[in-house]
């Protein structure tokens, strides 16, 4: 597979925004594709760039929940929500509320904070009712319900987002084992949980481990395979209507799991090809990350690029004002 040499140390041009006949903006980034052995088979920019994976690593954060046996009675729909950055629609909040009730917890036990749901119907319903959003509307409420489930299983204290809490220690251990390196640090994510640092290549390596997981193998393999299956079977729960994660997984017919992260991160798990993909747009532009991951998936033969690699932009009158497109030579 041809690509920029993996020794490149600067971000490569990945996506352009065209307005009229001119390029108005350019987005550069880093990307890596790894196989089941952890070997990097292609890279762009600097695959050793150190990044916060943000929400793209939620399947890693959910791994101890499943591997420990704490999720033995948890359905695939709820595991999809554990990996989700959801819109806060009813299809997201109702199952999370049910999950909390099943483990003897309530919305007040969630430590993710509250924000208005991205789903317009849910947001309007709150406004009309004169209600403020609660933690259950947070896009990470499913992940936090998973943290609470593991907390109960471990009989640990309620401050499950503390970096030294048994839940986060288990997350860090799994994270480092799958990325193949000790994390050089961590930061606080938008939902208040620790976000452990890795390289773009390390993140791709972890996704490749998920892609190669044996559903009939050991506890870790079974857990990884189950989380991947949950995401691909419930793409509507991983994000929601109008979101790239949901649309891409639907377009690929359940063959690939994808997950976005804030600040221009995107990953993909390709079980049929036993490959993992990770990318980071250097300026943090989510719009560019969506086009870049689509271009890589199209290159790998699992996605029809039509409608994904050259999306158009509209103004408030609905007039087409421009389009995004992969930069020349990428991927």
Annotated domain spans of the chain: 12-326
The CATH number, out of the four listed (3.90.1690, 3.30.1460, 3.40.50, 3.40.710), of the domain defined by the range 12-326: 3.40.710
Which residues, 6+ apart, have CB-to-CB distance to 264 below 8 Å?
27, 29, 280, 281, 282, 283, 284, 285, 286, 288, 289
What pLDDT, on the 0 to 100 scale, is given for residue 4? 45
6: pLDDT confidence band, cut at 50, 70 and 90?
Answer: very low
Q: What is the pTM of this model?
A: 0.95
C-alpha pair distances (Å), 266 with each of 81, 108, 216, 256 = 18, 31, 28, 13
Contact criterion met (CB below 8 Å) for 138 and 115? yes
pLDDT value at 321 more than 70: yes
1: pLDDT confidence band, cut at 50, 70 and 90?
Answer: very low
What pLDDT, on the 0 to 100 scale, is given for residue 183? 97
- Strands (E) across 45-189 are located at 50-51, 186-188
Contact criterion met (CB below 8 Å) for 55 and 189? yes
Better pLDDT: 1 or 192: 192
User: Within 10 A of 317 (CB to CB), how many other CB atoms are there?
Assistant: 6
200: pLDDT confidence band, cut at 50, 70 and 90?
Answer: very high
What pLDDT, on the 0 to 100 scale, is given for residue 288? 98
What pLDDT, on the 0 to 100 scale, is given for residue 123? 98
Per the prediction, the chain carries an average pLDDT of 96
Percentage of the chain lying above the pLDDT 70 cut: 97
* Rounded Cα gap, residues 29 and 47, in angstroms: 10
8: pLDDT confidence band, cut at 50, 70 and 90?
Answer: very low
Arithmetic mean of pLDDT, 92-113? 98
325: pLDDT confidence band, cut at 50, 70 and 90?
Answer: very high
């Amino acid at each position: 597979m041809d690509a920029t040499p993996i020794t490149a140390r600067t971000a490569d041009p990945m996506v352009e925004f065209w307005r009229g006949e001119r390029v108005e903006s350019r987005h550069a980034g880093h990307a890596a594709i790894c196989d089941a052995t952890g070997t990097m088979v292609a890279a762009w920019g600097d695959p050793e760039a150190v990044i916060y994976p943000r929400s793209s690593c939620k399947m890693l954060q959910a791994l101890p929940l499943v591997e420990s046996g704490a999720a033995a009675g948890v359905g695939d729909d709820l595991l999809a929500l554990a990996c989700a950055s959801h819109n806060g629609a009813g299809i997201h909040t109702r199952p999370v509320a049910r999950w909390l009730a099943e483990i003897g917890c309530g919305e007040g036990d969630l430590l993710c904070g509250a924000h208005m749901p991205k789903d317009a119907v849910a947001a309007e319903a709150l406004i009309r009712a004169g209600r403020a959003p609660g933690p259950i509307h947070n896009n990470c409420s499913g992940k936090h319900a998973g943290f609470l489930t593991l907390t109960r299983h471990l009989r640990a204290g309620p401050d499950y987002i503390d970096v030294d809490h048994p839940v986060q220690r288990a997350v860090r251990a799994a994270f480092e084992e799958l990325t193949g390196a000790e994390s050089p640090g961590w930061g606080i994510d938008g939902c208040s949980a620790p976000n452990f640092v890795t390289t773009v290549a390390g993140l791709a390596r972890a996704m490749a481990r998920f892609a190669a997981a044996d559903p009939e193998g050991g506890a870790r393999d079974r857990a990884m395979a189950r989380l991947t299956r949950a995401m691909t079977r419930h793409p509507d729960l991983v994000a929601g209507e109008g979101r790239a994660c949901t649309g891409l997984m639907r377009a690929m017919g359940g063959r690939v799991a994808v997950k976005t992260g804030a600040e221009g991160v995107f990953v993909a798990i390709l079980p049929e090809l036993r490959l993992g993909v990770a990318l980071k747009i250097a300026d943090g532009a989510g719009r560019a990350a969506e086009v870049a991951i689509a271009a890589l998936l199209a290159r790998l033969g699992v996605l029809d690029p039509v409608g994904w690699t050259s999306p158009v932009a509209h103004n408030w009158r609905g007039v087409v004002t421009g389009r995004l497109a992969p930069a020349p030579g990428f991927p």
